[in-house]
């Protein structure tokens, strides 16, 4: 783990740009729609490690009673602003998913690799916390980069991870990652450049942090220990295509409290 898993410095420095740099990896309305197809309107949902609250807002728009928390204050600041601009109610809290509980819920969501900030020793208690906050039959929906995909297909050398224009700004990110298949740790080295179309430099950062990846058998066994039964797996959070083993970049898991 090397003590560099939390990624908190990244979030401190890049929170304002997080949505532009990550947003297109997930379809938040689609994920909220999946939850709405499984839960009654008014159900209580906990959005764990909510980041800038993109999913929390979509859930609240569909009539769920949403509590959302994150460890990072910069991300929470952006989340508060977005929730207020969206005109929805989300009970936003600061918290740590490895230690904190917020009540009893019909579902817990934890999206976009948030669990990859946790070592296996931290993830097991976090899953236990999620499970203890769910009523019987309650749902947990989360994703993680698939260790088996990276074992076979990890990129070598520098590549473009993000390149797009939004309004008057260009967003470019390069990655040069190294994957350690033994430890299942992805060492991320990235460069972020944000510039206006008028050539004004708005933001530049170089970041290095680690991500803990998980295999499906490993996750399934941890979920079972936490009293959670897998209902369905998907291969990504963009179009919720089926999970195809080591060909899927993500392991997206929908499970229920047994
Ligand atoms: C990649 S972001 C995902 C945010 C959001 N779920 C989304 O879909 O955009 C990961 C988030 O996990 C948060 N995080 C990391 N470790 C955490 C912990 N132990 N407890 C709560 N949040 C944590 C980070 O601060 C960050 O906001």
Domain ranges for the chain, please list them: 8-146+215-257, 149-212
State the first-to-last Cα distance of the chain, in angstroms, to the nearest integer: 31
Sign, CA torsion 230/148/35/105: positive
| Nearest 10 degrees: Cα torsion 35, 36, 37, 40 | 110
pTM of the model: 0.96
Nearest CA to 222 among 137, 115, 135, 70?
Answer: 115
Q: Which CATH class is domain 149-212?
A: mainly beta
How far apart CA 154 and CA 235 sit, in angstroms, is 16
Report the pocket of ligand 1 as residue ranges, CB < 6 Å. 6, 11, 26, 49-51, 54-55, 70-72, 75, 96-98, 111-114, 117
Long-range pairs for 62-67: beta carbons < 8 A, 24 or more residues apart: 62/32, 62/33, 62/35, 62/36, 63/36, 64/35, 64/36, 64/39, 66/90, 66/91, 67/91, 67/93, 67/102, 67/103, 67/105
Tell me, letter by letter, the H, E, C secondary structure of 149-204.
HHHHHCCCCCEEEEEEEECCEEEEEEECCEEECCCCEEEEEEEEEEEECCCCEEEE
- Residue 241 CA to ligand 1 center (angstroms) comes to 23
* Residue nearest atom 20 of ligand 1, based on CA coordinates: 96
pLDDT score of 22: 84
- 232 sits in which H/E element: strand 228-234
* Residue nearest atom 9 of ligand 1, based on CA coordinates: 51
> Each residue's pLDDT tens digit in the chain (258 positions)?
345 888 899 999 999 999 998 877 889 999 999 999 999 999 999 999 999 999 999 999 999 999 999 999 999 999 999 999 999 999 999 999 999 999 999 999 999 999 999 999 999 999 999 999 999 999 999 999 999 999 999 888 899 988 999 999 999 999 999 999 999 999 999 999 999 999 999 999 999 999 999 999 999 999 999 999 999 999 999 899 999 999 999 999 999 999
How far apart CA 253 and CA 23 sit, in angstroms, is 20
Rg, the chain, Cα only = 18
- Residue 199 CA to ligand 1 center (angstroms) comes to 32
pLDDT score of 25: 81
How far apart CA 84 and CA 244 sit, in angstroms, is 39
pLDDT score of 232: 97
Q: Does the domain formed by 8-146+215-257 have CATH 3.40.50.150?
A: yes
């Amino acid at each position: 783990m090397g003590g560099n898993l939390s990624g908190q410095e990244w979030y401190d420095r890049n929170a304002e740009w997080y949505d532009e740099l990550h947003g297109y990896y997930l379809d938040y309305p689609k994920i909220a729609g999946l939850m709405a197809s499984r839960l009654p309107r008014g159900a209580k949902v906990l959005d764990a490690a909510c980041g800038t609250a993109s999913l929390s807002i979509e859930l609240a728009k569909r009539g769920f009673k949403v509590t959302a928390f994150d460890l990072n204050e910069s991300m929470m600041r952006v989340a508060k602003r977005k929730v207020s601009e969206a005109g929805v109610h989300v009970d936003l809290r600061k918290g740590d998913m490895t230690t904190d509980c917020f009540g009893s819920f019909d579902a817990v969501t934890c999206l976009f690799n948030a669990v990859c900030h946790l070592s296996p020793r931290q993830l097991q208690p976090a899953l236990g916390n999620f499970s203890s906050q769910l009523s019987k039959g309650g749902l947990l929906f989360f994703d993680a980069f698939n260790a088996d995909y990276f074992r076979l297909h990890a990129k070598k050398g520098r590549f473009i991870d993000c390149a797009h224009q939004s309004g008057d700004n260009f967003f470019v990110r390069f990655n040069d990652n190294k994957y350690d298949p033994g430890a299942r740790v992805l060492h991320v080295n990235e460069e972020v450049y944000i510039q206006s179309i008028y050539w004004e430099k708005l933001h530049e950062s170089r970041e290095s942090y680690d991500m803990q990846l998980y295999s499906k058998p490993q996750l399934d066994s941890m979920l079972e220990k936490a009293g959670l039964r897998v209902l369905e797996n998907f291969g990504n959070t963009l179009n919720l295509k089926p999970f195809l083993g080591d060909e899927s970049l993500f392991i997206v898991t929908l499970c229920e409290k047994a």
